[in-house]
A = this chain, B = another copy of it.
Amino acid sequence: MTHPQPFVLRDNDTGGTTYTIGELAREFGITTRAIRFYEDEGLLSPQRVGSKRLYRRRDRARLKLILRGKRLGFTLAEMREAFELYDEAHGEARQLKYYLSVLEEKRAQLLQQRQDLEETLEELEQSYSHCRQLLETQERQGKATEEKDLPAPRSSTGT
């Protein structure tokens, strides 16, 4: 499995799929600035080829985790903590136990969030169908109305 590769590495070949910073930025719809920032904050540590950063599958996976974490409201510091713990916890029992306690904490947090989410979704859907009912009633009554499907009908007498 880990025997030396009998091939001559051609230039950019580091023995696996790699990505430039621009490719990742495009793929995930973020800026290169953001990706470098995550590195500054200790969340990524890509290889270097000359002065350029080279991202591998693991880096890409972490970036994915970062973005998902962000959507869930985790701060970059929290995620760095998590990554560090994960990296360090491969052995000693104390580390493992601490890691477990952190995981439980995060779990509780996510469960609370799921609760919030379900509640909000329900209210949102109630609001939605209530609105649709109102609309239907209106449309049956006043057929003389023009102007439909306007995108942003805020105030019309502005400066």
The residues of A with any CB-CB pair to B shorter than 8 Å are 68-69, 71-73, 86, 89, 92-101, 103-104, 106-107, 110-114, 116-117, 119-121, 124-125, 127-128, 131-132, 134-135, 138-139, 145, 147-153
Contact = CB atoms under 8 A, between A and B. Distances in A.
Copies assembled: 2
Nearest to A127: B103
Given A73-B73, A94-B147, A121-B107, A100 B132 contact: yes
B107 A113 contact: no
Secondary structure class of chain A's binding surface, majority of residues: helix
B103 A131 contact: yes
Contact of A68 (B96, B120, B139, B151): B120
A126 to B, nearest CB: 10
B94 A150 contact: yes
A45 B90 CA distance: 53
Nearest to A93: B138
